[in-house]
């Protein structure tokens, strides 16, 4: 419609700062941003800066790069409780090297923090040599097909009108075959790829077309959606191009659940090993239903047959019941694993945050180990407790207790943000409290004067509330 086209032209300049973030603009000077350039979804709600949701968002995004590389290029987890819980997902292109994947995810997460200042729902595709996706929300989106919001980039140049009919015929067939490949749950050029990884719904190809040589296409869906939903997402993008940008020499359509791009040239280094494909063989004729009528014969059903049928039914019911029980247990185990990974920090991140446990960052020491101040990559200040190697606590016991304590959330308790367990290192990461501990004021001849009896009474009430929460209201009881 004319109104939509006018809106697209008005917003072209406003969206240029966002479009620079995507590798598509970097690699193709002829590509232009449309009005649908929506990375931050303001319609799903807003949050206050420095709120619990904001802190959880920064925390889950800061650990996302290491979690994605540790899980075959794809990770889906969450941090926080109740309305402050943040669900996040990260995915890299299949075959991406760990360093490249980490860099891409880290860049996308950092850009989302800078662009989406207080939106509770956002996504961003990013990358050059490899591409990646980072997404977060205040609602669980695992397994759900999400088509909006979406971003559209298109090439200003057009296919010549005299060539359109022949070109479109070849283009339509190639896109249909690529959608089938991408949504088939098996990556054609990797027989041993994990179906839970980023390669589950992925296809890249090159095919010859009349007059213009070759066309290149890349399609990618998130692995949490079903095969049918992946196909629907890609078909929606292809149909959108055919309806609103017919004849354009290339388009990129980005959605929370899928990615679609085609060009008249090879792009982003993703097609160096691709070869031209030939037309598929004709489909086999559909099977014809046998119409031969069989003669009906009256037969008596013996008691043995009845008994056999009953046994088969009983065994089937037992197997179904066992299957349901096993499925629920695996689902619970998977949920526990995701919960553990979402609060786990890698040692390299903590070493960088504390300047390799520098003495200048040391806050104090106690019977269980030393405490250091650290700054995470997203700017969050934390207190890092490096437990003594002679504590005698087992690794599995330490991890279980750390995950359990992270569930505690109360204004009168210092919050445990996560843990690190690598080699002999056992580390706890807490929120940073600038005022230090209470004994810092109680036993200092000068500082104790700052605590009048009104303030001390409020502190006592706060301690009582924290103890009451621990014993009655927390998830540990």
The dihedral through the CA atoms of 408, 413, 417, 421 has a sign that is negative
DSSP state string for 295-352: PP---PPPHHHHHHHHHHHHHHHHHHHHHHHHHHHHHHHHHHHHHHHHTBPPHHHHHH
Alpha carbon 32 to chain centroid distance?
A: 27
**Residue 373 counted as an annotated binding residue:** no
Q: What is the DSSP letter of 469?
A: I
Alpha carbon 313 to chain centroid distance?
A: 42
Query: Residue 431's CB: how many other CB atoms inside 10 A?
Result: 15
Instruction: Identify the residue whose tokens are 């790829």.
Output: 193
Residue 84, C-beta contacts closer than 8 angstroms, at least 6 positions apart:
51, 52, 53, 56, 409
- Three-state DSSP class for 59? helix
- Three-state DSSP class for 199? coil
Query: Residue 219's CB: how many other CB atoms inside 10 A?
Result: 25
Q: In what side-by-side order are the strands of the sheet with 122-127?
A: 74-79, 86-92, 131-137, 122-127
C-alpha 388/C-alpha 319 separation (Å) is: 50
**Whether the Cβ atoms of residue 24 and residue 128 lie closer than 8 Å to each other:** no
Per-residue burial over 304-336, b = 16 or more CB atoms within 10 Å of its CB, e = otherwise: eeeeeeeeeeeeeeeeeeeeeeeeeeeeeeeee
Q: What is the DSSP letter of 434?
A: T
Residue 387, C-beta contacts closer than 8 angstroms, at least 6 positions apart:
368, 369, 393, 426, 427, 428
* 28: alpha, beta or left? (left if phi > 0; alpha if psi -120 to 50): beta
Query: Residue 26's CB: how many other CB atoms inside 10 A?
Result: 14
Annotated binding site for ATP: 385
Annotated binding-site ranges: 385
């Amino acid at each position: 419609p004319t109104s939509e086209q006018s809106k697209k032209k008005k917003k072209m300049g406003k969206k240029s700062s966002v479009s620079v973030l995507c590798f598509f603009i970097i690699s193709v000077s002829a590509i232009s941003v449309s009005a649908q350039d929506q990375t931050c979804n303001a319609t799903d709600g807003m949050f206050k800066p420095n709120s619990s949701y904001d802190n959880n968002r920064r925390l889950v995004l800061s650990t996302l790069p290491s979690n994605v590389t540790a899980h075959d290029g794809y990770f889906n987890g969450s941090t926080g409780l109740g309305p402050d819980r943040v669900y996040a997902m990260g995915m890299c292109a299949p075959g991406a090297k760990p360093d490249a994947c980490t860099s891409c995810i880290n860049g996308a997460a950092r850009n989302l923090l800078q662009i989406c200042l207080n939106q509770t729902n956002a996504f961003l595709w990013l990358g050059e040599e490899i591409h990646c996706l980072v997404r977060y929300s205040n609602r669980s989106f695992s397994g759900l097909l999400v088509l909006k919001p979406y971003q559209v980039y298109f090439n200003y140049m057009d296919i010549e009108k005299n060539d359109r009919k022949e070109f479109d015929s070849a283009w339509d067939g190639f896109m249909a075959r690529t959608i089938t490949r991408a949504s088939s749950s098996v990556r054609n050029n990797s027989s041993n790829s994990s179906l839970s990884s980023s390669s589950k719904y992925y296809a890249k190809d090159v095919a010859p077309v009349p007059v213009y040589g070759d066309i290149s296409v890349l399609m990618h869906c998130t692995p949490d959606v079903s095969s049918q939903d992946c196909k629907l997402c890609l078909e929606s993008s292809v149909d959108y191009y055919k309806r609103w940008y017919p004849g354009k020499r290339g388009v990129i359509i980005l959605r929370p659940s899928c990615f679609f791009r085609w060009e008249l040239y090879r792009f982003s280094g993703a097609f160096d090993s691709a070869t031209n494909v030939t037309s598929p063989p004709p489909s086999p004729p559909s099977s014809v239903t046998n119409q031969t009528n069989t003669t009906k014969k009256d037969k008596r059903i013996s008691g043995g047959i009845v008994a056999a049928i009953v046994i088969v039914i009983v065994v089937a019911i037992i197997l179904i019941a066992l299957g349901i029980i096993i499925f629920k247990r695996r689902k619970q185990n998977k949920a526990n694993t995701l919960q553990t990974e979402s609060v786990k920090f890698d040692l390299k991140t903590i070493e960088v945050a504390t300047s390799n446990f520098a003495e200048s960052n040391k806050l104090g020491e106690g019977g269980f180990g030393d405490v250091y101040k650290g700054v995470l990559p997203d700017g969050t200040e934390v207190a890092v407790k490096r437990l003594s190697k002679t504590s005698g606590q087992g690794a599995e016991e330490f991890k279980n207790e750390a995950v359990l304590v992270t569930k505690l959330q109360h204004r009168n308790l210092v919050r445990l943000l996560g843990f690190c367990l690598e080699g002999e290192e056992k580390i706890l990461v807490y929120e940073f409290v600038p005022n230090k501990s209470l004994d810092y004021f109680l036993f200092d001849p000068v500082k104790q004067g700052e605590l009048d009896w009104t303030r001390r009474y409020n502190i006592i009430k706060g301690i009582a509330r924290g103890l009451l929460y621990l014993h009655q209201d927390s998830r540990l009881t």
